[in-house]
Amino acid sequence: MFAKDYFALFDLPVKFALDVNTLRDKYRALQAKVHPDKFANASAQEKRLSVQYASYVNQAFQTLRDPMERGRYLLELKGEAWGDESATIKDPSFLIEQMELRETLAEMPAAHLPEFLRNIAERMSAIESELGNLLDVQGSLDLASARVLVQKLQFLKRLQHEVNEKSE
């Protein structure tokens, strides 16, 4: 019942670049078929399977719609083991930049936060383009480089989250 992978579930090509609107449409169509409310009068087993499948569909959608998670998932499909505990970036300039950005954020007045967020979004977009090129165009022969790009996205996503928390 469960598809082999998330891309197969939504009948999408196994690629980093995907149309999020198409993904969203396929997600809604699939949820309309498997949502537990559709199985209110079904057997206990059918209800349980519906809940499990709807959960699987949700997890697949959340993974594929987020570029960082999608990149990570593609790496896992290609056999690149992922362990957050041991995942480190060995790019000193990137790490120094991250420390400087966090220091800047700590001292930044609230009025400058939107511009700071735009800057982070631009950096993330550039990394996503590079990751898409590496995974889709070059065929991801260099999984280690793709992994580093996903890790960089992870750092920037955390920073983005910190900015959003500060602005609240």
Would you give per-residue pLDDT tens digits along the chain (168 residues)? 566 799 999 999 999 999 999 999 999 999 988 877 777 777 888 878 878 888 999 999 999 999 999 999 999 988 887 765 455 777 889 889 999 999 999 999 999 999 999 999 999 999 999 999 988 876 656 888 888 999 999 999 999 999 999 887
User: Residue 81: which of 140, 139, 133, 143 has the closest Cα?
Assistant: 143
| Residue 63 CB partners (closer than 8 Å, separation 6+) | 6, 69, 70, 73
Per-residue confidence (pLDDT) for residue 92, from 0 to 100: 87
pLDDT of residue 34: 83
Domains of the chain, start order:
6-65 (1.10.287.110), 92-167 (1.20.1280.20)
Instruction: Give the pLDDT of residue 25.
Output: 97
Nearest to 155 by CA among 114, 105, 80: 105
| pLDDT number for residue 83 | 64
CA 46 – CA 10 distance, rounded (Å): 22
DSSP 102-147: HHHHHH--GGGHHHHHHHHHHHHHHHHHHHHIIIIISTT--HHHHH
Please tell me the pTM assigned to this model: 0.85
Q: What's the pLDDT score for residue 84?
A: 55
At residue 18, the pLDDT reads 94
DSSP assignment letter at 85? T
Count CB atoms within 10 A of the CB of residue 101: 20
pLDDT computed for residue 124 by the predictor: 96
- Confidence at residue 6, expressed as pLDDT on a 0 to 100 scale: 96
